[in-house]
Structures are given as structure tokens and as C-alpha cells.
């Protein structure tokens, strides 16, 4: 059996828990930012904390302040009114900081693409590490997206050492 096959046979929950511990040695702190969503994506994020998904068992904690956050989870198109606040939120986060754009709106504007009231995706405002598609994405897809984002911590740290 190849390494890839072994890795694929390990449940995503286990891979995420061990990836967080290996790279941070503690919980991953997540700040959720609603940047103009319809709230569909936000309800899927809320489902991460229900008794079925219970992501706290994997070492994921949602925090109120960006100063405590490793990862910014952004939903919505990024409205004009929120863009400056989103930049300040990102700047307040400690390095190495990660950004995940969650849902079609955050990726490209989704059904609101081209609106006068906002941008066509979060990447116009923030450096996005991972895109999680869906309208809205299922909780399992969000967990997978966070797993990919945590893996990018190595890239971020390597980049910082090189500069
Ligand atoms: S991607 Fe869909 S569910 Fe998420 S904020 Fe946009 S319209 Fe709502």
C-alpha cells in the first residue's frame, strides 16, 4: 500500500487533529467573519459545533478576537462597508495567519457577483489560502478545507524564514 493510500485510509478527523497538534502543539483558534453572506454558510459553520460534528474534539476553537486567531474563516461577498474592517481584522492576527474563503460568495461573489455593494470574492481584499466551494458548503467540506489550510502553515513559516 502506498503512502497516499495509507493517508487516504485515515479518517479526515484524525488527520486534522494530528495535523493541528503537530504544527501548533495546541488548539487551532478560528475567527469567523461574516462579510456579507445570506447566513446560509454561517449556519453550516454553526453546525461544526453541534454534538454530531463537535469540532472542539479535534482541537478547533472559535474565538471572538482576531488577536487570538490562527485562521480567519470568511463568508459572504466582502461588502464595500466591511472591506476596511476585514483588512484591520487580518492585520490584528498574529503570524502565521491563514485565511479560508467559505462558499461561492466568498470565492467569486456567487449569486451576487457584479453587485454594486461588494466585491467578487474575498481574494480582492485578503490573501486567501484555501477556497471551500459550495452554496453553502457542508460541514464536512469545511473540515476538509481547514485541514488543507493547516497544512499551509508549513508554507507560511518557510516563506517567513526565507525573507
Ligand atoms: S455561498 Fe450560498 S449559502 Fe453561502 S452566503 Fe452565498 S448564497 Fe448564502
Give me the CATH number covering residue 95.
3.40.50.12280
Q: Is residue 149 part of a domain?
A: yes
Asked whether residue 138 carries a pLDDT value surpassing 80, the answer given is yes
- What are 9's three cell numbers? 485510509
Residue 156: the pLDDT is 81
Residues 61 and 30: beta-carbon distance below 8 Å: yes
Nearest CA among 11, 55, 15 for reference residue 32: 55
Q: Which protein residues touch ligand 1 with a CB less than 6 Å away?
A: 37-38, 40-41, 75-76, 103-105, 110-111, 135-136
- What are 17's three cell numbers? 487533529
Residues 114 and 90: beta-carbon distance below 8 Å: no
> pLDDT tier at 1 (50, 70, 90 boundaries)?
very low
Alpha-carbon span 50 to 122, nearest angstrom: 27
Structural domain range at position 134: 12-158
Residue 99's DSSP bridge partners are 72
- The residue-averaged pLDDT of 30-57 equals 97
Residue 5's DSSP bridge partners are none
CA 84–ligand 1 middle distance (angstroms) = 21
- The residue-averaged pLDDT of 133-161 equals 91
- Minimal-distance CA residue to ligand 1 atom 2: 135
Q: Which residue has the higher pLDDT, 69 or 6?
A: 69
Q: How many domains does the chain have?
A: 1
Residue 161: the pLDDT is 65
Asked whether residue 103 carries a pLDDT value surpassing 50, the answer given is yes
> pLDDT tier at 7 (50, 70, 90 boundaries)?
low
Q: Is residue 86 part of a domain?
A: yes
Q: Is residue 123 part of a domain?
A: yes
Alpha helices in the chain (DSSP H): 3-9, 12-24, 40-47, 80-92, 104-108, 139-151, 153-162
CA dihedral angle for residue 65, residue 68, residue 73, residue 78, rounded to 10 degrees: 50
Local structure of residue 117 (DSSP, 8 states): T
- The residue-averaged pLDDT of 65-94 equals 98
Distances (CA, A) of 111 to 37, 38, 102, 116: 11, 10, 14, 13
> pLDDT tier at 162 (50, 70, 90 boundaries)?
low
Average pLDDT, the chain: 92
Q: Can you give the pTM of this predicted structure?
A: 0.91
Q: Is residue 6 part of a domain?
A: no
Amino acid at each position: 500500500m502506498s503512502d497516499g493510500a495509507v493517508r487516504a485510509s485515515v479518517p479526515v478527523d484524525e488527520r486534522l487533529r494530528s495535523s493541528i497538534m503537530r504544527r501548533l502543539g495546541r488548539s487551532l483558534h478560528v475567527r469567523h467573519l461574516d462579510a456579507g453572506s445570506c447566513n446560509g454558510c454561517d449556519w453550516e459553520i454553526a453546525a461544526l459545533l453541534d454534538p454530531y460534528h463537535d469540532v472542539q474534539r479535534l482541537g478547533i476553537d472559535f474565538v471572538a478576537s482576531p488577536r487570538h486567531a490562527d485562521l480567519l474563516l470568511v463568508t459572504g461577498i466582502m461588502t464595500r462597508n466591511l472591506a476596511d474592517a476585514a483588512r484591520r481584522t487580518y492585520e490584528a492576527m498574529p503570524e502565521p495567519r491563514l485565511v479560508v474563503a467559505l462558499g461561492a460568495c466568498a470565492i467569486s461573489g456567487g449569486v451576487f457577483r457584479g453587485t454594486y455593494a461588494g466585491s467578487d470574492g474575498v481574494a480582492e481584499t485578503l490573501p486567501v489560502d484555501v477556497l471551500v466551494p459550495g452554496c453553502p458548503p457542508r460541514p464536512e467540506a469545511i473540515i476538509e478545507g481547514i485541514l488543507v489550510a493547516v497544512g499551509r502553515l508549513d508554507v507560511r513559516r518557510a516563506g517567513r524564514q526565507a525573507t
